[in-house]
Amino acid sequence: MVSPPSEFVVVDVETTGFRPRYDDVISIDAIRVGGQDNTQRFHSFIRPRKPLRPEVERVTEITNDTLQRIARTPTEVATAFLSFIGPRRLVTYNAEFVVPFLTAVARKAGNKLTNPVSCTLEMAKCAWPGRTKYSLHAVISHLSGDGIVVDPSIDELDVTKVVYLALVRKLDRLQ
């Protein structure tokens, strides 16, 4: 039987675009699951290289004003985030998007991101091959068809955590 790691970190980012080489991470949110404290949270805004475009403000609901007031430097956030995650497995909904941005953040602190990664999007594609929709809400719907209830009103990181744990069990049953 496959079991999830005793400790892992669910992570999500908000960015100024889709290309880690040219665009910036403006927010990192994470929850560390397991261990003695059971669940700890990390959140930080990151100062981008240039002001946000109006469409980025609209999509992310993060404003230039907020970033000017409370965002920290990329190096400060990278150092704090890498300390928070340690060597733990990272869990994210779309690793193909998130991990390159996290790698760029780590690089700004002079580090490398070497953590193992689990992608709930790829796990869902293995659990339900041939489906046409794999959005987080579609995956929640697929899980409810398997008798697993995920409350979509809870925070996206908590939803991703519940989805990850359910997918680990489902994929174990399929083997």
The residues, ordered by sequence, that sit 6+ positions from 124 with a Cβ below 8 Å of its Cβ are 134, 139, 142, 163, 167
Query: Do 74 and 46 contact (CB within 8 A), yes or no?
Result: yes
Which tens digit of pLDDT belongs to each residue from 63-89? Answer: 999 999 999 999 999 999 999 999 999
Show pLDDT as tens, one digit a residue, over the chain (175 residues).
467 788 999 999 999 999 998 999 999 999 999 866 667 999 999 999 999 999 999 999 999 999 999 999 999 999 999 999 999 999 999 999 999 999 999 998 899 999 999 999 999 999 999 989 998 888 888 787 776 777 666 788 988 998 999 999 888 888 7
SS3 28: strand
Domains of the chain: 7-118 (3.30.420.10), 120-174 (no CATH)
pLDDT the model gives residue 3: 72
List the 7-15 sheet strands across, edge first: 39-45, 25-34, 7-15, 89-92, 117-119
Q: Within 13 Å, how many C-alpha atoms sit on residue 71's CB side?
A: 24
Containing 71, the helix (H) or strand (E) segment is: none
pLDDT the model gives residue 109: 85
pLDDT the model gives residue 152: 60
Q: Within 13 Å, how many C-alpha atoms sit on residue 133's CB side?
A: 9
pLDDT the model gives residue 2: 61
pLDDT the model gives residue 151: 66
pLDDT the model gives residue 137: 81
- Check the CA dihedral 6-85-142-150 and report its sign: positive
Q: Distance between CA 143 and CA 15 in Å, rounded?
A: 29
